[in-house]
Amino acid sequence: MRKIEIPWESFAVSLISLLIGFLVGGIILAAVGVNPLRAYAAMFHWALRRPGAIFQRATPILLTALSFAVAARANIFNIGAEGQMYLGALASLYVAVKSGSALLGALAGLVAGMGYASIAGFLKSHRGVNEVISTIMLNWIAFFFLDYSISRYLADPSRPWRSVKVPVGARIPYVGSFPLSFVVAVIVSIAMYFLLWRTSLGYDIRAVGLKPKAARYGGADVKKITLLSMSLAGVAGGLAGSMIVQGQSYYIDIPLSVMYGMGFDGIGVSLIGRNHPLAIVVSALFFGVLMVGSHGMQLAVGVPREMVTAVIGIIIIALAMPEAIRMIRRRLR
């Protein structure tokens, strides 16, 4: 039986980073005349009374974080989860509306995200194009393509600023206030963990990420691994769009307010979870607590929205910084 090793060092670093984040945020709150203890108490009290909202908020962020994490294990800095999410959402919406099937809609989103991420993977593996540049450009292409597609082909005639709704039979349901889409996200996370740590492909991905030259000498096809890593990242990114459209909003508005920015939020969540698929589940839930609890700070204590956003940003940056520094050092070797 394999012994489970607990990463105490990483746990200690995360705990210290968390304390630093709350401390700095508290100092800022105190500087503007807000009692930090009262503000944080209101945040957690508000959030923990709304567990369904936490799970709902955590679902797409968990999947976009996985998109970043899988690529990061191959030393690829994937900024493209945002675009993969957009394409996944569009494909899911179209197929769900046409077929009335939740499964086919989710599969369409998965395939769309995988295919879109593969473009950046191919450009990096076969043409040496930096993935940061290509994925940022692909994000904007996806944004405007989705915007155009909704307004031109899938708009609701009675509400032209948004798409038609996903039919009831193609939606991912709730059990009470608990979204089953979160279960889908956790299953994907577990599957990614087993793929990365229990298969030969996962071993090659991690070997290429740690020492590409050594992995090449060991027989790993670096070009193939790069392409496959980005494709796997796209699976998670595309599913994030599916879970939003089929499990939360049931439509896409033209400004994309129902999903805009969640791909970038996933980067921070992945870094907080040290790019580990299972740890990301915890970091996504913590992110959900912060996002849902932010309303409590505003309504119960009267903290301005901009100040709440700044405090939460400081906490996330403090938690993500150790892993971000480690990744930057690895890329500069």
Domain containing residue 77: CATH number:
1.10.3470
Residue 258 included in any domain: yes
Q: Mean pLDDT of all residues in the chain?
A: 91
pLDDT band at residue 134, thresholds of 50, 70 and 90? very high
Residue 31 included in any domain: no
Mean pLDDT, rounded, for 153-167: 94
Chain mean position to CA 147: 21
Q: Is the pLDDT of residue 277 over 90?
A: yes
pLDDT for 188 equals 97
Q: Is the dihedral of CA 139, 144, 148, 154 positive or negative?
A: positive
Q: How many CB atoms lie within 10 A of CB 4?
A: 5
Mean pLDDT, rounded, for 290-305: 89
Q: Is the pLDDT of residue 172 over 60?
A: yes
Residue 14 included in any domain: no
% pLDDT > 90, the chain: 77
pLDDT for 12 equals 80
Domain range holding 204?
Answer: 36-332
Q: Is the pLDDT of residue 331 over 90?
A: no
- Per-residue pLDDT of 231-259, as tens digits, reads 999 999 999 999 999 999 999 998 899 99
* Cα 288 to Cα 181: distance, rounded to the nearest angstrom: 14
Residue 159 included in any domain: yes
Residue 18 included in any domain: no
Chain mean position to CA 83: 12
C-alpha count within 13 angstroms, C-beta hemisphere, residue 292: 21
Q: Which of 38-42, 190-194, 215-219, 282-286 has the lowest mean pLDDT?
A: 215-219
Q: Is the pLDDT of residue 5 over 70?
A: no
pLDDT for 6 equals 53
- Per-residue pLDDT of 30-63, as tens digits, reads 998 889 999 999 999 999 999 999 999 999 999 9
pLDDT band at residue 8, thresholds of 50, 70 and 90? low
* Cα 139 to Cα 145: distance, rounded to the nearest angstrom: 10
Residue 3 included in any domain: no
Residue 277 included in any domain: yes
% pLDDT > 70, the chain: 96
* Cα 171 to Cα 247: distance, rounded to the nearest angstrom: 6
pLDDT band at residue 333, thresholds of 50, 70 and 90? low
pLDDT for 212 equals 76
Mean pLDDT, rounded, for 272-287: 94
pLDDT band at residue 1, thresholds of 50, 70 and 90? very low
User: Number of folded domains in the chain?
Assistant: 1
- Per-residue pLDDT of 58-107, as tens digits, reads 999 999 999 999 999 999 999 999 999 999 999 999 999 999 999 999 99
Which tokens belong to 145? Answer: 């393509």
pLDDT for 230 equals 96
Residue 19 included in any domain: no
